[in-house]
Amino acid sequence: MQLFDNIPEKALEWHTSGKGAVLATVVETWGSAPRRVGSQLAISGDGVIEGSVSGGCVEGAVIVEALEALETGEARELEFGVSDQDAFAVGLACGGTIRVLVEPVGRVIPESLLRDLCSARVDREAVAYVVDLDTAQRRLVRDGFAERFRMDRSGFEEDSRVFVGIHNPPLRLIVVGAVHIAQALVPMARIAGYDPVIVDPRETFGSETRFPGERLIHDWPDEAVEALGLDARTALVLLTHDPKLDDPALEKALRSQVFYIGALGSTRTHGKRQTRLEAAGFSVEEIARIHGPVGLDIGAAGPAEIAVSIMAEMTRVLRKGA
């Protein structure tokens, strides 16, 4: 599986190769901070970096502190005020303040814990890295923090010094139907941070020429989605307009934890779809998970605008719930 960032993985690689490694994490922000809480920067013992904690305005100071922390083997909490001038340089209107936790791998973050974290990320398993800054206790948590996982929101627990770093699997979009809307939707989804996959047994539609550089699967949709796996960080969009292709994949999705299911078609088409699913044994509540007609009603005209409406609806469901 391709990860969109490989910061913990890079830190583990540097540590196990003997170079030494430090992980720096944004744990708190005030004002218009350049990077959100949970953003990370990995620093090797020879000063190579991966990731970012500020968009460039405080990285130099963090690297210096990280290399010193690697020598002493102690964690450090750093606080930086980002000036208006520096904020403008990284694309913000005004400055803010960020707090960064610096943790050497090995002597502060146990190698075994970091290895388990990296394994969970590869396996698309949601996991939280929890550190109590008063007791220096560190652990991985898989159950609990439901709202943090749903919102993808790292941060301190209320009135405490316990920081929860959320490591969700990368967002994934499975598009069934290599049609003209998909040609607009897939690049938009990639820009928004999704790992897109296009499923269509019709190789003429799902061709490299029509989708250059994208992952294409030419299996039947129900077989493809089952092989890919359907988890809570996956969105499924059905665009073939053909029940023979859409319905089997739709049934798989309704029995899964995917966060979004959208299906192309008019209100009348969706009504027929509901009837078929009821006959297949699905409840009204289960069928209500389907967004059909797909996308927010923005008066979209043409494939690109329909793709915009789908992306907007996916984002709303991801961030605000169904």
Residue 92 confidence (pLDDT): 45
Burial class (CB in 10 A: 0-12, 13-18, 19+), 46: exposed
- The amino acid that residue 171 corresponds to is L
Residue 257, Cβ neighbours under 10 Å: how many?
A: 10
Residue 33 confidence (pLDDT): 66
Q: What is the pLDDT of residues 294-303, one digit of tens each?
A: 999 999 999 9
Burial 151-189 (b: 16+ CB within 10 A, else e): bbbbbeeeeeebbbbbbbbbbbbbbbbbbbbbbbbbebb
Q: What is the pLDDT of residues 150-181, one digit of tens each?
A: 888 999 999 999 999 999 988 999 999 999 99
Query: What residues does each domain of the chain span?
Result: 7-167, 172-320
Q: What is the pLDDT of residues 55-85, one digit of tens each?
A: 667 888 999 999 999 999 999 999 987 665 5
The mean pLDDT of 212-240, rounded to a whole number, is 94
Chain CA centroid to CA 282, Å: 29
Percent of the chain residues topping a pLDDT of 70 = 93
Instruction: Tell whether the model's pLDDT for residue 200 goes beyond 70.
Output: yes
CATH superfamily label, 172-320: NAD(P)-binding Rossmann-like Domain (3.40.50.720)
- For residues 134, 73, 64 and 31, what is the CA-based torsion angle, rounded to 10 degrees? -20
Burial 264-303 (b: 16+ CB within 10 A, else e): bbeeeebeebbebbeeeebeeeebebbbbbbbbeeebeeb
